[in-house]
Structure 1
Amino acid sequence: EDRMNLLKPSIEDMKQFNKERSPKISPGAVDLIHCLQKNNVPVYLISGGFRSYILPKIKELNITPENLFANKLMFYFDGSYAGIDHREPTSDNSGKATIIEDLKSKFNYRTVVMIGDGVRDIEPCPPADICIGYGGNIVRPVVKSKADWYVMDFKEIADSYGKC
């Protein structure tokens, strides 16, 4: 948030940024997500990034907007930057854990698996039951040491699941 307050991007700045820099999807992620969905496993995307940046990519992942949890940027009527919406749980350091707790409570999930490459992806264990660290983009030693399982490729997860 501090960086965004320094930059104070307008809505036009963000539209231009989104047009020039589409989020990259890691190799194997689409196949894993589609396999899980085909087997009726709910998939959520919980990110500390910005909803407006991620939203265009979730179609490729077959994830509905309701299953996307991310920060929302706010703008004034003139298009100037107003801040980050603090009503979103992802705006807080413990937001991912809060979201997982809410999902477990709402849907009575027995097992929730969190997959991620950052420290904030490993912190919500618990309430997530299993945390899988991912090093395919960048290897972070703290993620590698704290994860229940560490993979370099999403195919490792798909192969272990056995239904893909």
Structure 2
Amino acid sequence: MLTRLLTTSTLLPLLRPSSRLMSSSVGLSIPHAKSSLLTCTCVCFDVDSTVITEEGIDVLASHLGKGSEVSEWTSKAMGGNVKFEDALSARLGLIEPSKSSIIECLKIHPFKLSPGVEKFIETLHEKNVDVWLVSGGFRIMIEPIAEVLNIPKDNILANNILHDEEGNYVGFDSNEPTSRDLGKPAALNMIKRSKGHESVVMVGDGATDAQAKPPAVAFIGYGGVQDRESVREKADWFVYDFEELTEVVKGRE
């Protein structure tokens, strides 16, 4: 019988809970992260591999036949191995996306939301929490996502690809805070100053998101798409499922 063939060593991997099942116990200060979610007035989200299941620039690069070269730079940037501005410049220099090619890419390959994120953001809105998308990705690709999630376009801080009158790529706006290293803490400070928020929580999957604390009072890492050890080690709470966060927010007064 099958049960006689299962030795103790065979059973051990089956008995060990996976990291995903243990996600609620991972983090530097989970009670602090939960308390912050219960009291903050603003939650800022990374977009790529957090709100959506892919890296937008990698999808665009693949559409333009430069997928492997660009994904290498993306991995370096998200792992914190190179300055973000260097990786951004290198990736855009490889693909030089025209405006028409970006629009075509979005039509052929619409982005998918991460499981549970729509409900989480809906719950934040119900509790009158200000929601922002703070991304090293591109506004032209993020605005359709914001529309689906009922997030105003004014609540997006992201990079702008520059095109000439014919729609040809000519560069990117280096004045955007998210175009450079340590851009996300700068972006969150801008949000705090302009909106008067005293308590902001950052949610994301990458090294640039972890950099946002401070000024964020808590950093919640998301590993449902990319599980990065370097991010897990810096997160106050590291989760694989947005449902865990939704349940906390439901407890707000």
TM-score for both structures, normalised by structure 2: 0.62
Cα distance in 2 for residues equivalent to 1:72 and 1:14: 12
Q: Percent identity of the aligned residues?
A: 39
Which residue of structure 2 lines up, in the alignment, with residue 32 of structure 1?
Answer: 120
Which residue of structure 2 lines up, in the alignment, with residue 15 of structure 1?
Answer: 103
Letter in 2 for 1:18: L
Alpha-carbon displacement from aligned partner over 1:37-89 (angstroms, at most 9, x marks no partner): 11110000001111111111111111000001111111011221111111211
SS at match of 1:43: strand
Letter in 2 for 1:152: Y
Alignment of 1:46-65 (within 5 A): 46-65=134-153
**How far 1:20 moved relative to its partner?**
1.6
Q: CA RMSD in A?
A: 1.3
User: Does 1:137 find its partner at 2:212?
Assistant: no
Is contact 1:23-1:53 (8 Å) kept? no
Is contact 1:23-1:54 (8 Å) kept? no
Instruction: Show structure 1 runs of 4+ deviating over 6 A.
Output: none
Letter in 2 for 1:131: F
Residue in structure 2 matching 1:5, options 63, 73, 93: 93
User: Does 1:83 find its partner at 2:171?
Assistant: yes
**How far 1:24 moved relative to its partner?**
2.1
Larger RCO: 1 or 2 (CA < 8 Å, sep 6+): 2
Letter in 1 for 2:248: S
Cα distance in 1 for residues equivalent to 2:195 and 2:184: 16
Cα distance in 1 for residues equivalent to 2:94 and 2:223: 30
Unaligned runs of 5+ in 2: 1-88
Cα distance in 2 for residues equivalent to 1:78 and 1:105: 37
Cα distance in 2 for residues equivalent to 1:101 and 1:41: 17
Cα distance in 2 for residues equivalent to 1:93 and 1:21: 29
Cα distance in 2 for residues equivalent to 1:23 and 1:125: 28
**How far 1:23 moved relative to its partner?**
2.2
SS at match of 1:49: strand
Is contact 2:131-2:151 (8 Å) kept? yes
Is contact 2:123-2:249 (8 Å) kept? no
User: Does 1:43 find its partner at 2:137?
Assistant: no
Greater radius of gyration (CA):
2
TM-score for both structures, normalised by structure 1: 0.95
Alpha-carbon displacement from aligned partner over 1:118-162 (angstroms, at most 9, x marks no partner): 111111111111000001111110111100111110111111223
Cα distance in 2 for residues equivalent to 1:147 and 1:2: 28
Unaligned runs of 5+ in 1: none
Which residue of structure 1 lines up, in the alignment, with residue 197 of structure 2?
Answer: 109
Cα distance in 1 for residues equivalent to 2:197 and 2:210: 19
